[in-house]
Amino acid sequence: MKIPYYIGGITKSSSSGDIPLEHLAKSILEPSDKMMSLFEAINKASKEGDKKRKGQLKEQLPFFTISAIFNGRRKYDNIIDFNPIAQLDFDGLSEEEAEDFKFYLFEHYPQIVMSFLSPSRKGVKAIIRIPKIDISKGIKNGIKEYKEYYKAIESEFSNHKGFDPAPKNLALPLFLSYDYFMFDRSFYEAKEWDLKESLEDTLSQDFPLPIKPYKKLKSNNRNESRAYNTVRKAIREINSSPGHYQLRTACLIFGTRCGAGYVDYSDAKREVEDLVRSNAYLSKGVAGYIKTALWSLNEGYKTPKYY
C-alpha cells in the first residue's frame, strides 16, 4: 500500500512521493528532531492563541492523502486507484478527552489500524481499514463505493463528540502528527469495515470523473467554468455593505465546488484574491477581505457539493 505525501503547504497539489503505511506509523511514533521542533512551535502558538502563527507553522508540516492515489493534481478526475483505508477526525476535545478517546476507539473498533492525537493534542485522528475498491468497474463507481462505506462510518461515529465528516473528501489532507503513545495494529490484523449505506439521492448525481482516468470529460470542463462564472459574478457585483457577508457566501459556495473536484484549490485561491483586488469596493480593505475569502474557501472545501 502506497501513501502519497506532500511537502510545501496546503496549496501543494501534486505528491512529492509515497511511503508505505508502516512508515507513516513510524513517523508518528518516532518524529525526527526537526519535526518535533516544529510541533513544539505549533503547540506554543496554540497555547498563546496566535492562530495566524499556528497556521503558518502548520503549513510546514508534510501531509498525506491516504485513501486515494492521484495522477497529478489532487482532483477527483485524477484518481487512478484507492487504498483500503479511510481517515477519521474528531476535533474540539480537551487534552484529557483526546487521550482517553484514542484508546476507546482502538479498543472498541477492531477495524481501527491506528489511533493517535492530532497536532493540537485536542483531537484524535484514526485510520480505519475498509475493503479494497475494485477499479475495474471504473473510477466513478469506485468513488461511489468509497462514499457508501464512509456514509456508514459517518452514521456510526457521528454519535461521538467532535466527529468531523470532512475526510469523506478523498482529496482532503491528513497532516503529519506525533504521538509517542499511539495505538496501532498491523493492517492485516485489523478487521474490515465492510458496512455500507446508500447515498440516496446523491447516487444520481453526476460526478465530474471519467471512466478512463487520463481523459478529461467535457462535462468536467463545463462544471469548472460554471463554478468560476458563479463566483466571478457574485464577487464583481459586491459594491456596498455588507461586503464581508456577500464575499463569505460566494467563497463558501466556490469552496464546495473545489472540494468536489471541479476546480483546483490553489487555482481557486489565486482567483478569489484577484477578484477581491479588482473589485473597487473590496479593494478599500483588501487585506481583511482576502482573509475572509480564503477562510470561506477553505471552510467550503471541507464539504463538497456536486452539480
pLDDT tens, position by position, 49-81: 888 888 788 888 899 999 999 998 888 989 999
306 in any annotated domain: no
Is residue 75 domain-shared with residue 166, that is, in the same domain? yes
User: pLDDT for 164-182, tens place per residue?
Assistant: 988 999 988 899 999 999 9
Tell me the CB-side half-sphere exposure of residue 75, using CA atoms within 13 A: 23
Q: How far is CA 260 from CA 76, 128, 152, 160, in A?
A: 7, 23, 20, 26
Statement to judge: residues 197 and 233 lie in one domain:
no
The mean-pLDDT minimum among 193-202, 240-249, 280-289 falls in 193-202
Q: Are residues 146 and 245 in the same domain?
A: no
With beta carbons less than 8 A apart as the criterion, state whether 51 and 29 touch. Answer: no
Per the model's pLDDT, the better-predicted residue between 141 and 264 turns out to be 141
User: Band of the pLDDT at 220, cuts 50, 70, 90?
Assistant: low
pLDDT on residue 122: 86
pLDDT more than 70, % of the chain:
93
Sign of CA dihedral 258, 73, 15, 34: negative
Separation between Cα atoms, residue 108 and residue 119, nearest integer Å: 23
Beta-bridge partner residues of 125: 89, 116
Strands (E), 158-249: 163-164, 174-175, 183-184
30 pLDDT tier (thresholds 50, 70, 90)? very high
Least confident of 160-164, 200-204, 223-227: 200-204
Rounded to the nearest 5°, which phi and psi values hold at 6? -135, 135
Whether 157 is in a domain gets the answer yes
**Which of 204, 231, 265 corresponds to the end of one domain?**
204
Tell me the pLDDT band of 210, cut-offs 50, 70 and 90. Answer: very low
- In the predicted structure, residue 202 carries a pLDDT above the cut 60: no
**Mean pLDDT (whole number) for 225-248:** 86
| Domain interval for residue 128 | 2-204
Is the per-residue pLDDT at 209 higher than 50?
A: no
- Tell the residue number behind the cell numbers 484529557, with chain if given: 96
Q: Is the peptide bond before 62 cis (omega within 30 degrees of 0)?
A: no
Confidence band (pLDDT; 50, 70, 90) for 200?
low
Which residues lie across from 87 on neighbouring strands? Answer: 127
> 19 forms bridges with which residues in the sheet?
3
Give the pLDDT score at 47: 81
202 or 16, which is more confident: 16
Residue 227 near residue 262 (C-beta atoms within 8 A): yes
Residues 6+ apart with CB under 8 A from 41: 57
- The residue type found at 95 is E
Report yes or no: 261 and 75 within 8 Å, Cβ to Cβ: yes
In a domain, 213, yes or no: no
- pLDDT tens sequence across 268-280: 998 999 899 888 8
Pick the more confident residue, 175 or 11: 175
Tell me: do 185 and 72 sit in the same domain.
yes
One domain, residues 54 and 99: yes
Does 121 lie in the same domain as 24?
yes
Q: Are 270 and 228 within 8 A, CB to CB?
A: no
- Whether residue 307 lies inside any domain: the answer is no
Per-residue pLDDT, 59? 82
Structure confidence by residue, pLDDT tens digits, 70-115: 998 888 989 999 999 999 999 988 989 999 999 999 999 999 999 9
Name the domain boundary from 204, 237, 270. Answer: 204
Cell of 58: 502548520
Q: Determine what percent of the chain is predicted with pLDDT higher than 90.
A: 50
What is residue 121's three-state secondary structure?
A: coil
250 and 198 share a domain? no
Mapping DSSP onto H, E and C, the string for 176-192 reads CCCCCCCEECCCCCCCC
Which comes out higher in pLDDT, residue 204 or 272?
272
In a shared domain, residues 112 and 236: no
Please indicate, yes or no, whether the overall pTM of this predicted structure exceeds 0.75: no
Specify the pLDDT at position 204: 39
Q: Which of 163, 178, 204 is the C-terminal boundary of a domain?
A: 204
CA distance 184 to 105: 11
Per-residue HEC secondary structure of 36-103 comes to HHHHHHHHHHHHCCCHHHHHHHHCCCCEECCCEEECCCCCHHHEEEECCEEEEEECCCCHHHHHHHHH
Residue 186 lies in a domain: yes
Domain presence at residue 161: yes
Same domain, 189 and 248: no
CA-CA-CA-CA torsion sign (166, 167, 169, 172): positive
Within this chain, do residues 135 and 249 fall inside the same structural domain, yes or no?
A: no
Answer yes or no: is 167 within a domain. yes
Kindly state whether residues 14 and 94 are assigned to the same domain: yes
Please tell me whether residues 133 and 35 are part of one structural domain: yes
Question: Rounded to whole angstroms, how far apart are CA atoms 19 and 141?
Answer: 26
The total number of structural domains that make up the chain: 2
Is residue 210 assigned to a domain? no
Exposure b/e, 67-80, CB count within 10 A at least 16 = b: bbbbeebbbbbbbe
On average, the pLDDT of the chain sits at 86
